[in-house]
């Protein structure tokens, strides 16, 4: 099994979205500057010996500027999306193509993780996502309660949605999904067991940044369920300590740069 991390562009946002208390005022510093952060859009392609090439997340749609609501573009500005960041080209740089993809697994259905399904529209591919996340996303679009995080462009019936259930799902050999609620009700993290490189844990947006995990600093305004997030934090830490897993945080550009120094691990 081989893991390829894919760099699908950059977003800039106020650090308060990812880190609780970022830029918070204090008595001694009542007017701090609001720090901003440039982060990565990260997906992965896994070459599985039996399942074939599996995508874990897909990034944003290539025409995001037309699709993302203006308030979302103001808050989460995609500041870099070159030809090399398109999903098809990122796969090509890893020696793969869209025609090689046999399945898609989505950590959750926010527009910067699932919007890249546009590249795969019309292909006969299973799209796996937790059933509770699928229900939450379609409800959010239908009722406009969380419009912006989810958009209707890719949440349609043309895709072969395959809902998953439970808290621990071994979808393929050595390809283990864990439900990590907090950012969304049923976000999925991916634990991979690679024969030579050991264990990797792709946390998706449970941890946007390294600080969320290493410093125990919860998500900021992106947090939906504080108590659930802490339970997920403790669970990931237990897995990492038991397995020695290398963690890939959902949007940490520095971690992506570190791990992309080699094209894959097998």
Q: What is the CATH number of the domain that holds 111?
A: 3.60.15.10
- Domain contains 27: no
Rounded mean pLDDT for each run of 10 residues along the chain, 266 residues in total: 96 97 94 95 97 98 96 97 98 97 98 98 96 97 89 95 98 97 98 94 98 97 97 98 97 93 64
- Domain contains 237: yes
Range of the domain at 239: 2-14+36-259
How far apart are alpha carbons 173 and 181 in whole angstroms? 24
pLDDT at residue number 146: 81
- Domain contains 165: yes
- Beta-carbon count within 10 A of 216 CB: 11
Beta strands in 15-109 (DSSP E): 36-48, 52-56, 77-80, 101-105
Q: Give the predicted TM-score (pTM) of the model.
A: 0.96
Beta strands in the chain (DSSP E): 2-14, 36-48, 52-56, 77-80, 101-105, 126-130, 160-164, 168-172, 175-179, 188-194, 198-204, 246-249
- Domain contains 25: no
Q: Which of 219, 157, 136 lies closest to 182, judged by CA? A: 219
Measuring CA to CA, how many Å separate 239 from each of 21, 190, 246, 258, 265?
A: 27, 11, 11, 21, 20
- Domain contains 264: no
- Domain contains 31: no
Query: Can you tell me whether residue 111 is helix, strand or coil?
Result: helix
- Domain contains 68: yes
191 token code pair: 């634990």
Angle 104-133-116 (CA atoms, 0-180°, nearest 5)? Answer: 40
Count of structural domains within the chain: 1
Is residue 15 within 8 Å of 35, Cβ to Cβ? yes
pLDDT at residue number 264: 61
Phi, psi torsion values for 12, nearest 5 degrees: -120, 135
Query: Can you tell me whether residue 74 is helix, strand or coil?
Result: helix
- Domain contains 212: yes
DSSP 222-235: T-S-HHHHHHHHHH
pLDDT at residue number 262: 65
């Amino acid at each position: 099994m081989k893991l390829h991390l894919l760099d699908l562009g950059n977003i800039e946002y106020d650090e308060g979205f990812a880190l609780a208390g970022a830029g918070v005022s204090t008595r001694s510093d009542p007017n701090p500057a609001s720090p901003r952060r440039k982060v990565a859009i990260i997906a992965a392609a896994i070459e599985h010996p039996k399942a074939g090439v599996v995508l874990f997340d897909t990034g944003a749609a290539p025409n995001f500027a037309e699709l993302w609501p203006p308030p979302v573009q103001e808050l989460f500005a995609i500041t870099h999306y070159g030809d090399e960041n398109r999903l098809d080209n990122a796969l090509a740089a890893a020696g793969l193509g869209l025609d090689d993809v046999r399945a898609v697994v989505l950590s959750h259905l926010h527009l910067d993780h699932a919007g890249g399904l546009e590249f795969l529209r019309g292909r006969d591919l299973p799209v796996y996502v937790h059933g509770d996340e699928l229900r939450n996303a379609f409800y959010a679009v239908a009722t406009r309660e969380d419009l912006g995080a989810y958009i209707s462009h890719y949440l349609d019936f043309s895709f072969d949605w395959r809902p998953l259930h439970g808290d621990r799902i071994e979808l393929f050999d050595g390809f283990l999904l864990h439900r990590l609620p907090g950012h969304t009700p049923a976000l999925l993290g991916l634990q991979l067991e690679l024969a030579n490189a050991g264990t990797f844990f792709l946390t998706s947006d449970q941890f946007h940044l390294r600080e969320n995990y290493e410093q125990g600093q919860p998500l900021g305004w992106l947090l939906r369920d504080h108590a659930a997030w802490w339970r997920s934090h403790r669970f990931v830490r237990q897995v990492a300590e038991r397995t020695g897993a290398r963690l890939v945080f959902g949007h940490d550009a520095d971690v992506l740069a570190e791990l992309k120094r080699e094209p894959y691990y097998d």
